[in-house]
A = this chain, B = another copy of it.
Amino acid sequence: IMSKGTVVLAYSGGLDTSCILVWLKEQGYDVIAFLANIGQDEDFEAARKKAESLGAKKVFIEDLRSEFVEDFIWPSVQANAVYEDRYLLGTAVARPCIARQQVEIARKEGANFVSHGATGKGNDQIRFELTCYALYPEVKIIAPWRIPEFYNRFRGRTDLMEYAQSRAPADLYLMTKNPEDSPNTPDDLEIEFKNVFVGSPCLSLSGKHGVGRIDIVENRFIGMKSRGIYETPGGTILLKAHLDIETFTMDKEVRRIKQGLGIKFSELIYNGFWYSPECEFVQHCINKSQENVEGKVQLSVFKGQVYILGRESSKSLYNEELVSMDVQGDYDPCDASGFIRINAVRLREHHRLQGFSSTKQ
């Protein structure tokens, strides 16, 4: 039989994408399995064998760890990216990294199709597909979990992970220790920001100390609320350290504008728009804001919590003499009276004119 064409499938080695691999072959496609290494704990060679045994024409296992940190995690750290005040966007940031490579393979292998195992109600399908369309506009996407013949056949399978999530969150965590069982003495560490962050070896301490677990209800892009249980040990430390060094070295008003851009960036990442003109634009702006954001932050991790101990930077805008209570220096406290009184002009007018009288212009 004639092949319908070649599909590059984002393959995880798990049950879901294994089913999809087989089903795609049944439908008449040649399947290339693609498995990205972004640092997860995985037996990649076992996955390769499994894919081959299921009939994959080729298997690509690609080490994306350094580009994941440099091109995706680092901009997110610079943005202090947090979705809805709490979610650190771990998987959201991984999707475009993986899909970019998948598209790259599809182009190289002359494949017209890509496929993935994301469900039809989630965010990952969107993150995955918008990246594909943006980087390979002519690509055709096969999303089995949105195809009735597929999902009607496989729906019965109880999703164990989902089941577990709704019942026993404590057992779900893979990277973080339960804070009750974590060490009884803190560990101190130092993170340096300069072009990128340095201190990665220290980041494993955060898992050991149970840092970065959250249990939230979040708003998916498609308009549903869902419950999410996440652990982001390294991201949590990086966020706290970066917030600290940033406020230390960045002008107040630049910070305000950049804060707004960071919130926008977080929404774009969450919604899958990493590869969009606006995300590129916002990322450029945020990057510009970071020109002087460099220095070292000392932290302590203990029982799920991160404490800032201090910070230092050659680009600090903190001026101990200016802020000191005992030194006036160039600062004249009388100026503050004028500052306050001018700020009050409007407030006093507002108060007075509550007994209004007609004026005419």
Contacts and interface: CB of A to CB of B under 8 A. Distances in A.
A231 to B, nearest CB: 12
Return the 4 tightest CB-CB contacts between A and B, nearest first: A338-B338, A120-B333, A223-B346, A303-B303
A82 B77 CA distance: 20
Contacts of A126: 336, 339-340, 343
B255 A219 contact: yes
A331 B226 CA distance: 15
A180 B282 CA distance: 41
B243 A86 contact: yes
Contact of A305 (B261, B303, B332, B336): B303
Interface string A46-84: 000000000000000000000000000000000010001
Contact of A218 (B247, B289, B322): B247
Interface string A215-248: 1111110111111000000000000000110011
- Count of this chain's copies in the oligomeric assembly: 4
Interface in A297-317: 302-305, 307-317
A126 B341 CA distance: 9
B264 A344 contact: no
A257 B244 contact: no
Interface stretch (A3-11, A17-25, A154-162): A154-162
A129 B225 CA distance: 22
Contact of A349 (B275, B319, B339): B319
A185 B308 CA distance: 24
A133 B347 contact: yes
A359 interface: yes
Interface in A347-361: 347-353, 356-361
Contact of A121 (B121, B217, B244, B333): B333
B359 A313 contact: yes
Interface stretch (A35-43, A143-151, A195-203): A143-151
A148 B361 CA distance: 30
Contact of A247 (B84, B260, B275): B84
A305 B211 CA distance: 10
Contacts of A244: 216-217
Given A257-B281, A359-B320, A337 B336 contact: no
Interface of A: 80, 84-86, 119-121, 125-126, 129-130, 133-135, 137, 143, 145-146, 148, 151, 155, 158-159, 162, 179-180, 185-186, 213-220, 222-227, 243-244, 247-248, 251-261, 263-264, 267, 272-273, 275-278, 281-282, 284-285, 288-289, 302-305, 307-320, 322-326, 328, 331-353, 356-361
Contacts of A119: 325, 333
Given A251-B346, A276-B350, A318 B146 contact: no
Contact of A319 (B120, B158, B225): B225
Contacts of A350: 134, 251, 276-277, 317
Nearest to A128: B340
A288 B277 contact: no
Nearest to A279: B253
